Protein backbone atom coordinates (compact mmCIF):
# COMPACT_ATOMS: atom_id res chain seq x y z
CA UNK A 1 0.00 0.00 0.00
CA UNK A 2 1.47 3.33 -1.01
CA UNK A 3 1.04 6.66 0.75
CA UNK A 4 -1.85 7.85 -1.44
CA UNK A 5 -3.82 4.62 -0.91
CA UNK A 6 -3.21 4.84 2.83
CA UNK A 7 -4.40 8.45 2.98
CA UNK A 8 -7.50 7.66 0.95
CA UNK A 9 -8.28 4.74 3.25
CA UNK A 10 -7.81 6.35 6.67
CA UNK A 11 -8.35 10.10 6.30
CA UNK A 12 -12.17 9.98 6.00
CA UNK A 13 -12.49 9.07 9.68
CA UNK A 14 -9.67 11.22 11.10
CA UNK A 15 -12.10 13.58 12.85
CA UNK A 16 -13.99 10.69 14.44
CA UNK A 17 -10.77 9.35 15.90
CA UNK A 18 -9.92 12.80 17.27
CA UNK A 19 -13.39 13.29 18.78
CA UNK A 20 -13.34 9.87 20.43
CA UNK A 21 -9.86 10.53 21.82
CA UNK A 22 -11.03 13.91 23.10
CA UNK A 23 -13.99 12.28 24.86
CA UNK A 24 -11.62 10.00 26.70
CA UNK A 25 -8.73 12.35 27.31
CA UNK A 26 -10.63 15.68 27.59
CA UNK A 27 -7.59 17.76 26.60
CA UNK A 28 -7.37 18.89 22.98
CA UNK A 29 -3.60 18.47 23.01
CA UNK A 30 -3.83 14.94 24.41
CA UNK A 31 -6.46 14.08 21.82
CA UNK A 32 -4.26 15.42 19.01
CA UNK A 33 -1.32 13.39 20.33
CA UNK A 34 -3.48 10.27 20.54
CA UNK A 35 -4.74 10.80 16.99
CA UNK A 36 -1.16 11.12 15.74
CA UNK A 37 -0.18 7.99 17.65
CA UNK A 38 -3.05 6.04 16.10
CA UNK A 39 -2.14 7.20 12.60
CA UNK A 40 1.49 6.28 13.20
CA UNK A 41 0.43 2.78 14.30
CA UNK A 42 -1.86 2.48 11.29
CA UNK A 43 0.97 3.56 8.97
CA UNK A 44 3.37 1.03 10.49
CA UNK A 45 0.79 -1.70 9.88
CA UNK A 46 -0.51 -0.39 6.57
CA UNK A 47 0.03 -3.68 4.76
CA UNK A 48 -2.26 -5.48 7.22
CA UNK A 49 -5.10 -2.95 6.87
CA UNK A 50 -6.46 -4.50 3.69
CA UNK A 51 -7.17 -7.66 5.67
CA UNK A 52 -9.79 -5.90 7.84
CA UNK A 53 -13.42 -5.77 6.78
CA UNK A 54 -13.95 -2.41 8.47
CA UNK A 55 -10.78 -0.34 8.88
CA UNK A 56 -12.71 2.46 10.55
CA UNK A 57 -14.02 0.17 13.30
CA UNK A 58 -10.49 -1.21 13.73
CA UNK A 59 -9.08 2.32 14.05
CA UNK A 60 -11.78 3.29 16.55
CA UNK A 61 -10.99 0.20 18.63
CA UNK A 62 -7.30 1.13 18.50
CA UNK A 63 -8.21 4.66 19.63
CA UNK A 64 -10.30 3.38 22.53
CA UNK A 65 -7.54 1.02 23.68
CA UNK A 66 -4.84 3.66 23.26
CA UNK A 67 -6.82 6.21 25.28
CA UNK A 68 -7.52 3.69 28.03
CA UNK A 69 -3.79 2.96 28.19
CA UNK A 70 -3.02 6.69 28.41
CA UNK A 71 -5.59 7.11 31.18
CA UNK A 72 -4.18 4.15 33.08
CA UNK A 73 -0.70 5.63 32.84
CA UNK A 74 -1.94 8.94 34.17
CA UNK A 75 -4.05 7.17 36.81
CA UNK A 76 -6.92 9.34 35.70
CA UNK A 77 -10.55 8.34 35.50
CA UNK A 78 -11.79 11.80 34.66
CA UNK A 79 -13.84 11.21 31.51
CA UNK A 80 -15.90 14.03 30.13
CA UNK A 81 -18.15 14.10 27.12
CA UNK A 82 -18.36 17.40 25.35
CA UNK A 83 -20.76 18.17 22.55
CA UNK A 84 -20.56 21.65 21.10
CA UNK A 85 -21.97 21.16 17.61
CA UNK A 86 -25.19 23.03 18.38
CA UNK A 87 -25.36 26.57 17.02
CA UNK A 88 -28.33 28.62 15.82
CA UNK A 89 -27.74 32.32 15.17
CA UNK A 90 -31.47 33.12 14.81
CA UNK A 91 -32.38 32.58 18.46
CA UNK A 92 -32.76 35.45 20.85
CA UNK A 93 -30.50 35.79 23.85
CA UNK A 94 -32.99 34.22 26.31
CA UNK A 95 -33.39 31.14 24.18
CA UNK A 96 -29.64 30.88 23.68
CA UNK A 97 -29.10 31.07 27.43
CA UNK A 98 -31.79 28.46 28.11
CA UNK A 99 -30.37 26.13 25.48
CA UNK A 100 -26.85 26.51 26.90
CA UNK A 101 -28.17 25.84 30.39
CA UNK A 102 -30.03 22.74 29.20
CA UNK A 103 -27.01 21.48 27.27
CA UNK A 104 -24.82 22.06 30.33
CA UNK A 105 -27.27 20.13 32.49
CA UNK A 106 -27.26 17.24 30.01
CA UNK A 107 -23.43 17.31 29.95
CA UNK A 108 -23.41 17.17 33.73
CA UNK A 109 -25.89 14.28 33.77
CA UNK A 110 -23.88 12.38 31.16
CA UNK A 111 -20.69 13.04 33.14
CA UNK A 112 -22.27 11.26 36.11
CA UNK A 113 -23.02 8.11 34.12
CA UNK A 114 -20.81 5.03 34.45
CA UNK A 115 -17.87 5.12 31.97
CA UNK A 116 -19.24 2.45 29.62
CA UNK A 117 -22.61 4.22 29.37
CA UNK A 118 -20.82 7.53 28.64
CA UNK A 119 -18.88 5.91 25.85
CA UNK A 120 -21.94 4.22 24.36
CA UNK A 121 -23.87 7.53 24.41
CA UNK A 122 -20.91 9.18 22.65
CA UNK A 123 -20.57 6.53 19.97
CA UNK A 124 -24.29 6.07 19.31
CA UNK A 125 -25.90 9.47 19.83
CA UNK A 126 -23.04 11.80 18.89
CA UNK A 127 -20.94 9.82 16.43
CA UNK A 128 -23.96 7.94 14.98
CA UNK A 129 -22.35 4.50 14.95
CA UNK A 130 -24.54 1.42 14.48
CA UNK A 131 -24.96 -1.06 17.32
CA UNK A 132 -22.86 -3.58 15.40
CA UNK A 133 -20.02 -1.08 14.93
CA UNK A 134 -20.12 -0.12 18.61
CA UNK A 135 -20.08 -3.83 19.47
CA UNK A 136 -16.90 -4.30 17.46
CA UNK A 137 -15.26 -1.24 19.00
CA UNK A 138 -16.16 -2.08 22.60
CA UNK A 139 -16.08 -5.85 22.12
CA UNK A 140 -19.57 -6.38 23.53
CA UNK A 141 -22.81 -7.74 22.09
CA UNK A 142 -25.26 -5.33 20.38
CA UNK A 143 -27.94 -6.45 22.85
CA UNK A 144 -25.78 -5.30 25.77
CA UNK A 145 -25.24 -1.99 23.99
CA UNK A 146 -28.99 -1.47 23.57
CA UNK A 147 -29.57 -2.22 27.25
CA UNK A 148 -26.78 0.12 28.42
CA UNK A 149 -27.95 2.86 26.06
CA UNK A 150 -31.54 2.50 27.23
CA UNK A 151 -30.49 2.67 30.87
CA UNK A 152 -28.28 5.70 30.24
CA UNK A 153 -31.03 7.55 28.39
CA UNK A 154 -33.58 6.64 31.07
CA UNK A 155 -31.26 7.91 33.81
CA UNK A 156 -30.63 11.16 31.96
CA UNK A 157 -34.33 11.63 31.20
CA UNK A 158 -35.38 11.00 34.82
CA UNK A 159 -32.73 13.30 36.24
CA UNK A 160 -33.50 16.02 33.69
CA UNK A 161 -37.22 15.85 34.52
CA UNK A 162 -36.38 16.00 38.21
CA UNK A 163 -34.12 19.04 37.71
CA UNK A 164 -36.73 20.90 35.66
CA UNK A 165 -39.62 19.93 37.94
CA UNK A 166 -37.91 20.97 41.16
CA UNK A 167 -35.60 23.61 39.75
CA UNK A 168 -32.54 21.79 41.10
CA UNK A 169 -29.22 22.99 39.79
Tell which residue, 122, 115, 88, 109, has the closest CA to residue 18: 122
Task: Judge whether 70 lies within some domain.
Answer: yes
Structure confidence at residue 99 (pLDDT) = 66
**Each residue's pLDDT tens digit, 22-47:** 988 888 999 999 999 999 999 998 88
Structure confidence at residue 29 (pLDDT) = 92
User: Total structural domains in the chain?
Assistant: 2
Enclosing domain of residue 11: 3-74
Give the number of other CB atoms < 10 A from CB of residue 107: 15
Region 50-69 average pLDDT = 89
Task: Judge whether 162 lies within some domain.
Answer: yes
Task: Judge whether 17 lies within some domain.
Answer: yes
Cβ neighbours of residue 115 closer than 8 Å, sequence gap 6 or more: 77, 79
**pTM (2 d.p.):** 0.55
Amino acid sequence: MNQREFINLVMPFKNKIYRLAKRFLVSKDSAKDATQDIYLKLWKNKEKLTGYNNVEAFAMTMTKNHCLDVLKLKSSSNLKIIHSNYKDNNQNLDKQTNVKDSVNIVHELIANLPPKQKLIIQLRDVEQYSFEEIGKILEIQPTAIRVALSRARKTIREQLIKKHKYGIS
